[in-house]
Structure 1
Amino acid sequence: MDFTPIFGQVFHSLWYLIPLLLVAAVVKSPWFKGVMGEAIVNISAKFFLDRETYHLIKNVTLPVDDGTTQIDHIIVSKFGIIVIETKNMKGWIFGDAKQKMWTQKIYKHTTKFQNPLFQNYKHTKALEALLDLDNSVIHSVVVFVGDSTFKTPMPENVTQAGGYIRYIKSMNQQVLDTSQVANAIERIQTGRKPASFNTSREHVKHVKSIVAEKANNNACPKCGSELILRTVKSGVNAGSQFKGCAKFPACRYTTN
């Protein structure tokens, strides 16, 4: 029996589901979550921070010794320069200012991710070198957007949603004059790489090379711990070997 006409009828009646599925896949992707998180911070900054006092510069890629570093948002004001790292995450968030890795827990699923304060430290140092300013006027802020809940006490510069606006406004002591603010803005705009697709692609390539280098050095790319050779003890792959993180089950990274 020829089922071709039947398949044709089904496809003709359900073709509209294909773009819906594609849209759903994009919405759930890490890229889209990152874009939405940054958009939320951009919009709130424009609505709740005075544009004459606070100057927002977004998506800044700066050259550094080992490649590039990408900063989500920089706010330049007479009260200092704020470097913002955005995290669009959900679930319970566990972390401490001094921990290398933080934890995201969604029901029974646990994921480790790099301490965003450590991640933003590289951003602040790159900006410090570019602007030739004292580090006391450059501030690191981490903003979590999305349906997440902090389950451990967080430093005051780690906030949720609009909390970063209150933190920025709490800085009320002038540390930069008008000429210093203008000079900082100009240096950032001239020192950054063009905000283009090629710049983002090259930065992603650079980040992937760092992850690959960590893997080649027998270090877990997720938490930095040692990778240990293990053997599958049961199932269809029993006897085969793989490398797993020494911190299992806290970190479940594996590689062939």
Structure 2
Amino acid sequence: MGIFDKYKEPVFLKESSNAAEEIELLQSLLEKAPEDIQKQIQQDIRCLQAGKAGEDRIAFELKNSHMPMFILHDLYLVHGEYTAQIDYLIITRKRCFVLECKNLYGDIEVNSAGDFIRTMKYGNRYVKEGIYSPITQNQRHMEVIKAVRGESKSNIVTKTLFERYFEQNYRSVVVLANPQTVLNSRYAKKEVKDKIIRADQLITYIKRVNNERGAEDNGEKHMEEIARWFLGKHQENPKNYFAKYESLVNVEQSDNKVEAVTEEPAEVIPENTVVTKGTDSDNTIICPRCGAHMVKRKATKGANAGNEFYGCSRYPKCRGIVNIK
């Protein structure tokens, strides 16, 4: 760092996210919503609160790093039909870091195949479940960044050089923000292990990577230009929890025909399909009859007593069912 450098501390070009606002709006719907939808809203509130808490921990580490860098929080990029919601994009003098924040509960194991396995304690027993790889998730974000940034290159030579050195200049890293999470990556491959760190290791990680061979010091002017370019590409995320539940609550409170759910369903499961236990959550199953979200229930009588299934959140107005194997 030169004595005449303008930036000596981190600069947040984009610091806010809409999580706090969405939590407040969802809480305003709780009293109006029927019991089944209340459970869905509460689950989404918990997820948003956990995500926000994790991102706040990362923000704390970055603000206290005393390093010149530009930071974009909750960056949403679009390239054709592909999108990327990036928790943090950090632009330093030497490299850019694409952070995926995970405030995971339980103990996390990463095996030799790169699978993420979570162990949670329920009462006196431990339950293991596979979770979607955040490394794969962040790699998709990297591909969107590569495509969007590549389009800005003025000629075929600069674009070719950008793509050739992209993996060297842009680093993907998954940050585990929950201090109580135990990570076991003993058997993970090195290329996987190197992409997972804890929040309190973040600044040390950035310094280490920037000191690796091949990093170029582009100067603070170039660093700022890149950051402001990405800020100009940011778009508002169309995902809106409040709009989704506001529609469902309005449906429950009226006798009119079912209104369309404002959020595009992640997946509509055909009726009578059997879903494998542990592969879906209450947020990803959509009623095959009316399009509303489904909730997990347990049969209390009949031949299937004790078995779990997904039932429509609008029951008894809608009796859509998806069985669980």
TM-score normalised by the shorter chain: which range applies?
0.5 to 0.7
1:5 corresponds in structure 2 to none
Q: Conserved in 2, the CA contact under 8 Å of 1:141 and 1:164?
A: no
Q: Greater share of helix residues, 1 or 2?
A: 1
Sort the Cα spacing of 1:78 and 1:219 in 2 relative to 1 into closer, same or farther, 3 A.
farther
2:137 is aligned, of 103, 119, 132, to 119
Sort the Cα spacing of 1:149 and 1:242 in 2 relative to 1 into closer, same or farther, 3 A.
closer
Give the number of aligned pairs: 207
Q: Conserved in 1, the CA contact under 8 Å of 2:76 and 2:234?
A: yes
1:10 corresponds in structure 2 to none
Segment of structure 1 superposing worse, 142-151 or 215-224: 215-224
Helix, strand or coil at the partner of 1:180: helix
Helix, strand or coil at the partner of 1:166: helix
2 CA distance for matches of 1:69 and 1:219? 28
2:205 is aligned, of 160, 167, 175, to 167
2:172 is the alignment partner of 1:140: yes
Sort the Cα spacing of 1:34 and 1:110 in 2 relative to 1 into closer, same or farther, 3 A.
same
2:65 is the alignment partner of 1:48: yes
What amino acid maps onto 1:102 in structure 2? F
Q: Conserved in 2, the CA contact under 8 Å of 1:56 and 1:75?
A: yes
2:52 corresponds in structure 1 to 35
1:150 corresponds in structure 2 to 183
RMSD of aligned Cα (Å):
3.9
Q: Offset at 1:177?
A: 1.3
2 CA distance for matches of 1:26 and 1:219? 21
Alignment of 1:3-82 (within 5 A): 29-50=46-67, 53-82=68-97
Q: Offset at 1:238?
A: 3.0
Q: Percent identity?
A: 17
2:104 is the alignment partner of 1:89: yes
Segment of structure 1 superposing worse, 30-39 or 104-113: 104-113
1 CA distance for matches of 2:53 and 2:78? 25
What amino acid maps onto 1:103 in structure 2? I
2 CA distance for matches of 1:181 and 1:221? 47
2:304 corresponds in structure 1 to 238
Sort the Cα spacing of 1:242 and 1:69 in 2 relative to 1 into closer, same or farther, 3 A.
same
1:227 corresponds in structure 2 to none
Sort the Cα spacing of 1:49 and 1:222 in 2 relative to 1 into closer, same or farther, 3 A.
farther
Sort the Cα spacing of 1:90 and 1:123 in 2 relative to 1 into closer, same or farther, 3 A.
same
2:266 corresponds in structure 1 to 211
Q: Offset at 1:84?
A: 0.3
Q: Tell me, which stretches of 5 or more residues in structure 2 are unaligned?
A: 1-30, 32-37, 151-161, 245-262, 281-299, 311-320
Segment of structure 1 superposing worse, 104-113 or 74-83: 104-113
1:185 is aligned, of 201, 220, 227, to 227
What amino acid maps onto 1:123 in structure 2? H
